[in-house]
Structure 1
Amino acid sequence: MKKIKEGINLKKLLRLKNTGSIFVIAGLLTIFVIALYTFILQSSYTKTALETEITRDTASADAVHKLVDGRIGKEDFDQIKDQSDEKKQLYKDISSYFNEIRTLNSTRYIYTATKNEEGKLVYVVDGLDSDADDVRHPGDYIEEEMVPYIDRAISGENVYSQDIIDTTWGPIFTACYPVRANHDGTGEIIGAFCIEMDMQSAYGMVEETNHISIICGLVAGAVLLLICLYTYYVYQKSKAEEQKQKQLLMTAAEEADAANKAKSAFLLSISHDIRTPMNAIIGFTNIALHQNTVSDIHDSLEKVQKSSNHLLSLLNDVLDFTRIESGKVTISPEPVDITQLTDNVQAIMNGLIYNRDLKFEVHREIPKNPYVLADVARIREVLVNLLGNAVKFTKDGGKITLDISSYPGADEKHIITRYVVRDNGIGMSEEFQKKLFDPFSQEDDANARTQYKGTGLGMAITKKYVDMMGGSIAVESKKGVGSTFTVEIPLELSEQVIQSEQKQHLHRDLTGIHVLMAEDNDLNAELATMILEDAGTTVTRASDGKEVVDLFKNHPRGTYDLILMDIMMPNMDGHQAAKAIRALGIERSDAVTIPIIALSANAFIDDIQESLDSGMNDHISKPINMEELIDTITKYIKHD
C-alpha cells in the first residue's frame, strides 16, 4: 500500500515537473517570438526611416541645385585649375555663394568637380570656409567613395545615393548633377555639381532606436516569462486569484488606453489650434510684403500681432499646465489688501472688453478687515480666466457681472472669500459641464469649436489653482441662457496693514547707454537691437558666450553699462559666460557690478533660478516684449 502511494506521489511530482517545464518552454518560446518580432519590426522601421530621410534629402538637394543651376558654366571650370586659382575673384565669388547656400540649407558640403588632363576626378570649387580643416582645393583628387557617383553625373545622369555612404567624415547622403558648358544648361558636360548632406543624426537615431527596441523586447520577454510562471503558481493556488489578476490587467489596459486617447486628443487639438494662428501669421505676412500703402501694411501687421498673441496664449496654457502637473507651481501667500486685488482685476477686465459692446458690473462687499494672507497672482489668474471666458462666450450686447463677498471661516482667524462670475452668453450643455474641468475638454459642437478657439486647458488650470489654495469651484449653465461660476477660497486674516505701494516712476530714457548683447540668432539680435536703438541705446553684439566674455574683458571699465545674455549659444552658453564675467571681479570691480540680464526662450521657474544662480541679475523670457525689455533695463541703469 505504501509503495502504491509513493508511486502515485511520484506520478504527481512528475506531472507537476512536466507542467512546469511546459510553462518554462512556453516562456522561452515567447521570448524568442518577441525577439524575432522586434528584429523584423525594427528592420522595417530602419528601412522606412532611411527611405524617408533620403526622400527629404533628395528634395533638399534638388532645391539647392535649382538655385545653383545656371550660375556656373564653362568659364568657371576653364579658369580654376589648381590651388593658385583660389586667389581669383571668380573662385572667391563661387565659393562664397556655395558657402552661403550650404549654411542656409544646413548642408555639409557643396562643390564642383571635373576630370583633369589625366582623366582623374578632381575638385574645382569647394563651398567650405577657406580655413576649414577639411576644405578641398582646386586640383585635389576626389575621394574614392565618391568617384562612382560623379562619374555617372558627368555621363549625364542626376545621381542620388540610395544608401548611407560611409566616409571619413561620417555617414552622408550625396546628390550629383551634370554641369553643362552654357549657363542655360545646354552644350557639352564639363563637370559635376555635388551636394553632401549629414546623415549622422538619422543614422544615430536608427541605431539608438534599434538598441532600445532590442532591450525592450528582451525585457518584455523576461516579464512575460515571469508572468507565465506567476500565472501557473496562482492557478495552482486559486482560480479566484487568477480571475483577480486578469481583472487588474484589464483595468491597467483600460487606463493605458484612456491615457493614449487623452494624449492623442491633446496632440490633435493643439496641432489644430497652433496651425490656425500660424496660418494667419504666415498669410498676412506674405500679404504685407506685397502691399504698397502704409495703411494696408499696418492692417496686415495688426492681424499678424493678434494671431501671434493668440499663439503665445496657447503655448502659455500648455506650459502652465505642464508646470502644475510636474509640481513646479506652489502657493505663496503674502499680506495683501483684498480690495486692491479686485481693483486690479477690474482694470484687466476693462482691457478685455475694449472694443466690445459688453456691459460689465462689479458688486463687492468689503469685509471689516480687508487684509489677508493670499497668493495674489493665483487668485487674479483664476478670476481673469473666468472673466476671459465670459467675454469670449458672450455676444455683443450681453452682460457680465462679478460679485465679491466673504463670510466667516473655520475660526475667527479665517474667512471664506466668494467670487461669482455671471454671464448671459452661449452657455454649456449638461454633458459638457461634467467634464468641464478635465484637461483638453471642449464643447462637442463644431460651430463652437470653430468660433471659440483654445486648448481646452484654461478651466483645468483654474481648477488646479483653486484646489491648491484649498478652495472650491462650481458651475451652473444652460445652453443659450448663460453660465455662473462660483469660486470660494479660504484665507487667513492678516494683522499687518498693507500700505498701497506707489509704483516707482521709471526714467525710461536710455540715451547714451551702451548695451553689450550676446545673441547667436541673427533675427533675434536684429529685433532686440531695433528696440534698444529706438530707446536711445548703443548696442554691441557678440555671437556667442566666448565672444561676449572677450569683448567685456578687452575693453576698458565703463565701456558697457549692461549685458543682455542669451542662454543657448555655441562655444559657451550664457550661464558659463555670466560666471566667467563675474570671475573677472578679481581683476576689475565692474565685472561684479555690471547688470547682466538673461534674454532666453527658457521660461520655467527652474530656468529663471539657474540664470540667477549663474550670477545674472534678472531673466526676461522670449518672445521679446518691448515694454518689459525697456523697463527691466531701466530698473538696473542709474540716472542722474
Structure 2
Amino acid sequence: MERKVPILVKNRDIFMSAKEIILLQWVSYESPQEILKVHNIDKKQFLDDYAGGVFDYFIGVISGRVEIGDCPIMQNLLIYLKDRDIRADELFEICSHFRKSMIDFTYDVKLNSKAIFDEISFLFDQNFRGVLRHYTDTIFQKEQEINRHVKLLSEYQKALDESSIISKTDMDGKITYVNDKYIKLSGYSADELIGSKHSIFKHEDMPQEYFDDLWFQLKHADVFRGTIKNNKKDGDYFYVDVTIVKITDPYDNSIEYISIANDVTKLVDARLEAQKASRAKEYFLSNMSHEIRTPLNAILGFVNLLIDKDVSKQHRKYLEIILNSGENLLSIINDILDFSKLRSGEFTIEPKIFSIHEEISHALELFVASANSRDITITSFIDPKIPKELYADALRIKQILSNFLSNAIKFTKTGGHIHVEVTCDNEILKVSVSDNGVGIAKEDLKNIFSAFTQANHEGIENYEGTGLGLSICHQLSKHMGGDIFVKSTLGEGSTFWIEIPVEIHSKECKIFNDIDEIKALKIVLYLKDGTPNYKTESFLKYAKVFNTEIDVVESLDKEYDIAIVLEEDIDDKIREKILDSNEKYIILASKPDDKYEKYFHISSVYFPLYCSKIKSAFDELFHPELFCPYRVDGGKKFSGHILIAEDNIANQELIKILLDKYGLTYDLATNGLEAVNLYKKNNYDLILMDEQMPVMDGNAAVQAIIKYEKEKGLRHTPVSALTANVIKGAKERGLQSGFDSFLGKPIVIKELERVFFNYLKITKESIGTPNSSDTKCNIEGLDCEKLTQELMLSGEELRMLVELFIKKMQIQIPELQNAIELRDYKKIALVSHSIKGSSGNFRLEEIQEESAKMEGMAKNKDSKYKYEAAFEKIKDRVAKIKIV
C-alpha cells in the first residue's frame, strides 16, 4: 500500500493529529447535514459511533494494518442506516464529503497536489466499492425479507377472510374494504358499503356514548375491543365481537383502520334469555320474600305485645310457640332474600372505617343468651394487636360470624364449648368459630357451601333452616375479595373461618393503652386443682399478650392485690372467704349473674371475654366512681333522643337521672370530639354541651357540628350550653359560636324544663314528685330535703350521687394538694374546675366559690394567691359531708 499512497504514508501523522478538525469539517457541509436531518440521525452519535471509526480505518489502510475495501465500521453504519431507508445516492453523498473534507484539509495545511488528490481519491473509490457491495447485499436481503412478509401477510389475510368478518375504513370512517363474510352477514352489497360510513349499520339500542368511547380508545390507545349490535339491510340485527386497530405507514402516520369481528348473535341472544329468566326468578323470590315479611312482622309485633300482657300460663306458652315459629320463618325469608340479592347482582359491599374489637364483641353478646340456654360456653380471643381502625364491610363480616355462631350453637350438644378467634396479619382479617359439636362427615364437606344443602346430622333435633346460610357466607366472603374455609371431624366438632382483605386505617394497635395500673398489681389466678381449663386459658391468653404477670395458685391464703376466680371452682368455704374478705376479686362466670352485684370488692364478668370487658372488670373494682349502680325509672313528660357532652362524672350521673325521669333517651360524650363523632353517626333532638371539656371544648364542637350540617344540608339540631360562666358577654359570645340556649350550673329544674319545652315534644304523661318517704337519705353536710325537691330526686338517687361525689373528692383532694405543693398551675386549674362543677349541683356555694377563684388564679399563674388557705377551706367543707 505504501507504493500506491506514498505521500499519504509520509504525511500520516499530520492527518492523525487533525482527526477532530477533519471530522467536524465532514459534518459541517450542507449536504451531509440535510441527509442526517432527513433520516433523523443524531450528529453527535454519527461522529462518535461511525465517523471516527471510518477515519481510523483510513489511517489503518495508510499504515498497512488493514486491507482496503472492507471497512467494518461502514458495515455497521449500513446496518444502522438500512432501517432508515437511506438511498444509494445519499450514502454516496455522505461518503464523498468525507473525501472532500480530507482534500480540503490538504489545502488548508499547504499539502495540496495532484498526487495527494489522486491518492485520497484512490482510497475513497476502493472503499466505496466495498460499501456499495455491502449496500447491495443489504438491499437484496431486505427485498427478500419483504417478499417473505408479503407472502405471509397474504396467507394471514386469506385465513382472516375465511374465519372472520373483515372491513377497513379510512381516517374519516368511510368503508374502503369489506370481505365476503361481512357482505353475507349484513345483506348489503360491496358497492353499497364501499364509501359509506359504519353508521349505516347503527342499531337504535347502541347509545352514541358507546361510539364516542370507541373513537376515544382508537385515538389514545390505537385499539378498541367490544361487542356491537348492528342492523342488517332487511331490518334484522346481528351482534359482533370486534377488534378495531389503527394502521400506520412506515413513518408512523395513521392511514386507516381495520376491523376484525366474529358473529356472536346466537351467543348473546342465549345469554340475554338466560339473564331474563334469572331476573324473573330473582324478582319472584325477592318480591315474595317482601310480601311475606310484611304481614309476618305485624304478627311478631303483636305477639310480643301480648306476651307482655297479663295472660294465663297456657296462653303464654302458645304465644311463645307462635313467636319462636315466626322468628324461624323470618330467618328463613331473610336468608332467601339475601341469597336472591347475591344471585341477581343487587347485593353491594359497603366498606367503612370500624373497630373489629367493638363489632365482634357486640356480635358475641347477641348469642350469649341462646348459648346459655343450652349450657354452652362461648370463649373468644380478639387479638389486641389488631389495629383499632380497619376499612372493610363490618356489617357483612358480622353477618358471617353470626351465621357461624348460630350453626355452632345449633349443632353443639348441651354443656359444649364454642371458641371464637379473630386475628389480622398482613392486612388479612381471619375470623374463626370452632365447636366441639357433632361435626361433619368427610363426604359432606365438599358440598357444605352449596345452596339449599345441609349435611346429614342424625340424632340432632331442631336444625331447621334453608340450607342457604353457609352459601350466603361463601358468596359474601367472595364479594369482599376473601375466602371461606372449613375443617371438621364427624363426632368431634368443626371449625369454620373466613380470611378477608382489609385496609389498615389507623396504625394504633392496642384497644386500650392505659394498663400500667393493672400491670403494677399483684394478680393471682385461683385454680382448684392447679390446672387451667379452656375457660381460664381464655383469660390467660389476653394476659400474655399484655405481658401481665399472673401467678396460678391453689390457695387464696397468699398476699395479692386482686384474685381471679372461676365461678365453678368456688365451694362454700372459698365463697365465704371471698364474701368476707377485704381483698378484691374478679369472678369468671359462664353466664350472667347478679349475685355479687352488692359486693363492692367483687366484680363478676361472664364469658366470652374480650379486652374491653376485662378492662371494665378491673375499673369497676378500682374506679367505682366510673360506674352507676342504680337506675330509677321516672314518668314521661317529653319525647326525644339527647346527646350529652359533659366530662364531669357527677354531672353526668345527675343529667342521666333527670333525663330518665323525663322519659328521654340519650348518648354520652366525655369531650367535644366524641360529641361531634356521635352527632355524625346518630340523630338527636337536642344537644346538651358543656363549654369546658378536654380534647375539644364545647364552642369548637358546636362550630364543627354546624359546619357539618351545612355541608350535608341537614336540619339544625338545637344546642344548649351547660355553663358555669356567668361573666357579662359570655352568653353573647356563646350565641356567636352557635349555641341556641344556655343552662347554668348548678342545674335548675325549671331552667332545664324551659329548654325541653322549647325544643322537644310534650307527652301526655307527667313526672311524679318524690314521696316524702323517698326523700329521707340521712346525709350530713347537705340540705337533703331542698336538693331532692329542687332536683326532683328520690333519697336513693341523691344518696347515690353523693357517694359518687365523695369517692371523687377522695381522689381529687389529694391531687389538688399535690398540685399546689408543686405549683403545677395547669393541674391546679384543671382539678379546681372539676371540683367546682361537681360541687355546684349540691348547692355547695362555699366550695364552688373557692374552687372557681382558685381556677382563675391558677390560669393566670398568680404566685401571690394563697392557694393553701383556699385548699383548706375546700377540704374542710368536703369533710363535713357524710352518709350516715
Q: What is the TM-score when the length of structure 2 is the normalising length? A: 0.27
**Using CA pairs below 8 Å that are at least 6 residues apart, which structure has the higher relative contact order?**
1
Larger Rg over CA atoms: 2
Q: What is the TM-score when the length of structure 1 is the normalising length? A: 0.36
